Amino acid sequence: MATLGVSEAERDAIARLEKDVIAPSMSAIVILQFTAEWCGPCKQLSPILDKVAADYAAKGVKLVRIDVDQEKLIAAQFRIQSIPTVYAFFQGQPVADLTSFRTESQITRVLDELLKQAKVAPADDAAPQADIEPLLLMAEQVLSDGDAPRAVSIFRQIHDMVPDNAAAVGGLARALAADGQLDEARSVLAGAPEAVGKDAEISRARAAIEMASAAPTGDTSALDARLAANPNDHEAAFELAGARMAAGDRDSAADLLLGIIGAERDWNEGAARSRLLQLMEAQGLEDPWARTQRRRLSALLFT
């Protein structure tokens, strides 16, 4: 792409296009989305493209976005008339216009055909951490939102790409536990490379599996009734906390456990405190929520 007669800023924009789109497209399918902050349809389409890119990352697909307000020269060169505009690139050339597609199934059908025709090699197992980090963040958000099956799918893709990555191993195990697949979750941890066995992410996953294993299943109305009738029924509160944890309601679980600790600190040999610490570990000890619960626990224990 010629750069004569353009400003330094424009040359930088062209260099970014070559680095982010053209070069990667030599060995992968690059989905290029033209977007803008003010574009409502873009915001509706972006999560769909994010999911497709995550699901297809190991197959050799990458997603790149260009803001038409920030990259006006690039938008002009592509003659962007409206947004969202979406192209698929391969070997430096646009090979498909995906603009009219608005559903995951429509987009994946085109990608499947492009991957078949282009014979794109699967992503290298040694994918750099910089490429994995956005996928890990997405998977964590999906899991936090309560969509365990989708989180399993995304974490599995990441794990396939970097099987020796502690965050990928631990995240997949936690997602499987949240989805009720406890045996597979344990199998994932058992198969983790020795080098990551003592990583905090692995400890976090073990705590999540232990909590999921101990949580009661089924209707909890009887436990609610017991606790309503007797607020000092610590056994009911403890079991109900386990059920709330399994359901993803960590705030309610923490409140119940802290209630037990506040009423009877050493009940059942400190079981409530141990379970709360386990819950915090499963969330990640540096997680803001976990830090808040640690402060609440300290306030009970040292006042």
Distance CA 180, CA 148 (A): 9
Is 247 catalytic? The answer is: no
Annotated active-site residue in 39, 148, 168, 223: 39
Is 39 catalytic? The answer is: yes
Annotated active-site residue in 42, 120, 123, 246: 42
The catalytic residue positions are 39, 42
